Chains A and B, each alone.
Chain A
């Protein structure tokens, strides 16, 4: 058995498992991935021929693509605006 008191041991576990800050490049990459979702949806819209739009059966995909583009675009905009307004914490990663 350990001679360390339970509460003391829990404090040491907490110290050992300290939160790890993510690298700034990760946030940039995440935002880029969200942007790529937007671009995919926009390309989907561009690829559709106007003539095909005369058939109501072809309206479903562009509506979905437009909705995805609007959602991802707005989300990305909010993320980028907020990231400009707030300074990200600096890295304190072990082994880096």
Chain B
């Protein structure tokens, strides 16, 4: 199983810049919620929500950049045997983690996040798996 490097580059560039834009705007929205002192976001009872949505924003933005970095990696190492699996794992994980944080903050149980946060652990595993695959591909190329 293999994927065309140029297709992967295009996919991750689009996704990366798209995510970067989206989560950047989301960050501005969160700042606006702070600015207008919206009770369900800045109130003492919303501390967990604030934390989770901040995590969603931060992770989403970071993963957007990670997608761009992955595109650059593929571009720099087109001879590696890119199977597409690393791309799918990385993509799924990078979406699941911020989505899990966001959903976990929608319905909170005081100090505990809502059940949406359950998306985060498998998302992290997929990300780690994807990153590991990328590492091996690049390592092989270097060797």
State whether these chains interact: no
Q: Identify the B interface with A (CB < 8 A).
A: none
